[in-house]
Amino acid sequence: MTIRLLLVGCGNMGHAMLAGWMKMADAPEVVVVEPAAPLRERAEATGALAVADHSGIPEGFAPDVTILAVKPQMMEQVLPGYARFRDGCFVSIAAGTTMAALARGLGEAAIVRCMPNTPAAIGRGVFGFTANAAVTAEQRALVRRLLEPSGRVFELDDETMIDRITAVSGSGPAYLFHFIEALADAARAIGLPDDVATEAARQTVFGAAALAEAAPEDAAALRRAVTSPGGTTAAALDVLMGEDRLTRLMTEAVRAAFARAEELGKQ
Ligand SMILES: NC(=O)C1=CN([C@@H]2O[C@H](COP(=O)(O)OP(=O)(O)OC[C@H]3O[C@@H](n4cnc5c(N)ncnc54)[C@H](OP(=O)(O)O)[C@@H]3O)[C@@H](O)[C@H]2O)C=CC1
Ligand SMILES: O=C(O)[C@@H]1CCC=N1
């Protein structure tokens, strides 16, 4: 049976998920609601039907799943327009927006809170999700069927875990992209030509990530294999690992993201 999806908001994350779904062998039938015309065009290029607001959804379209992919700050005003689709299940991907807030806007409905990340666009996403009591076993299986082709899926039984995983894998790609920028800046600072600096940084992160996935060793063992005693890597790691500098910085960053997710949930 072809899954019918309604995607509300087709910006950065909505489109990343849409791109993943449209590559599935049994691609779903998708209607996208997105006010921005260029983003509607981009959505239609994947094979979805895109409309500017909920009044444009084709009569009789009954989504199995409605994905809510608007900004958390928009959610409250957007939800009432979609409560009529509660024969199906809702999946909110908004950071922070709580089950209670979603239920206030949607009424008694089957609701999933999900935290994806943008590598879902190429089948390499990470998803955390949690479901309320109204979600049936069939709907839970449907959600898994939608997420699993796009990456690793973790079902989390406690809603606060969604805010926690948001700070790790939801925001995490940005940390890695910034790491590439920082390594490239450092490469330029010691005199590598601009283009070499950019590409050497990018390919190093890409190659190391691919090795971390392919090799049987864990990250610590792979790190040790690069680190010759008294060599160059040891000199750099003294800076990064001395007094747990990078771990402390990363923990501070992840705590800030987690705190912001909790704050968004209170608005
Ligand atoms: N970006 C990411 O990596 C991740 C984002 N998320 C979550 O995904 C959600 C979307 O984030 P992101 O994609 O980055 O944000 P974007 O702003 O890129 O996308 C949201 C889209 O929703 C559109 N929109 C606004 N109002 C409506 C409406 N009434 N009906 C339908 N669409 C509407 C916006 O249009 P316009 O701009 O014209 O207002 C915009 O194109 C957020 O809740 C975020 O927390 C979760 C995980 C990762
Ligand atoms: O920055 C944000 O709030 C969203 C949620 C996770 C990634 N992007």
Query: Is residue 147 located within the same domain as residue 178?
Result: no
Same structural domain for residues 92 and 113?
A: yes
109 and 197 inside one domain? no
Residue 125 CB less than 6 A away from ligand 2? no
Containing structural domain, residue 252: 172-265
| CA 14/CA 31 separation, integer angstroms | 12
Q: Which residue among 113, 133, 162 closes a domain?
A: 162
Q: What pTM was computed for the model?
A: 0.96
120 and 228 assigned to the same domain: no
* Whether residue 11 sits in one domain with residue 111: yes
C-alpha to C-alpha distance for 112 and 98, rounded to whole angstroms: 10
What is the pLDDT, as a whole number, of residue 90?
98
Handedness of CA 130, 132, 136, 142 (dihedral sign): negative
The reply to whether ipTM tops 0.85 is yes
Q: What is the CATH number of the domain that holds 180?
A: 1.10.3730.10
Position 267 scores a pLDDT of 77
189 annotated ligand binder:
no
Ramachandran quadrant class, 214 (left: phi over 0; alpha: psi -120 to 50; beta: rest)? alpha
Mean pLDDT of 47-72: 97
Alpha-carbon Rg for the chain in angstroms? 21
Does residue 38 lie within any of the structural domains? yes
pLDDT of residue 209: 97
pLDDT, tens digit, for every residue of 183-238?
999 999 999 999 999 999 999 999 999 999 999 999 999 999 999 999 999 999 99
The answer on whether 72 is annotated among ligand-binding residues is yes
Distance 261 CA to ligand 2 centre (A): 9
Task: Identify the pLDDT of residue 234.
Answer: 98
- Is 103 known to sit in a ligand binding site? no
Indicate which residue's Cα is closest to atom 15 of ligand 1: 11
Average pLDDT over residues 104-109: 96
Same domain (yes/no): 53, 133: yes
- pLDDT beyond 90 at 1: no
Q: Say yes or no: 16 and 104 in one domain.
A: yes
Mean pLDDT of 47-65: 96
Q: How high is the mean pLDDT of the chain?
A: 97
In a domain, 143, yes or no: yes
Please give the tally of structural domains in the chain.
2
- For ligand 2, atom 7, the nearest C-alpha belongs to 171
Atom of ligand 2 nearest to the CA of 260: 3
Tens of pLDDT along 112-170? 999 999 999 999 999 999 999 999 999 999 999 999 999 999 999 899 999 999 999 99
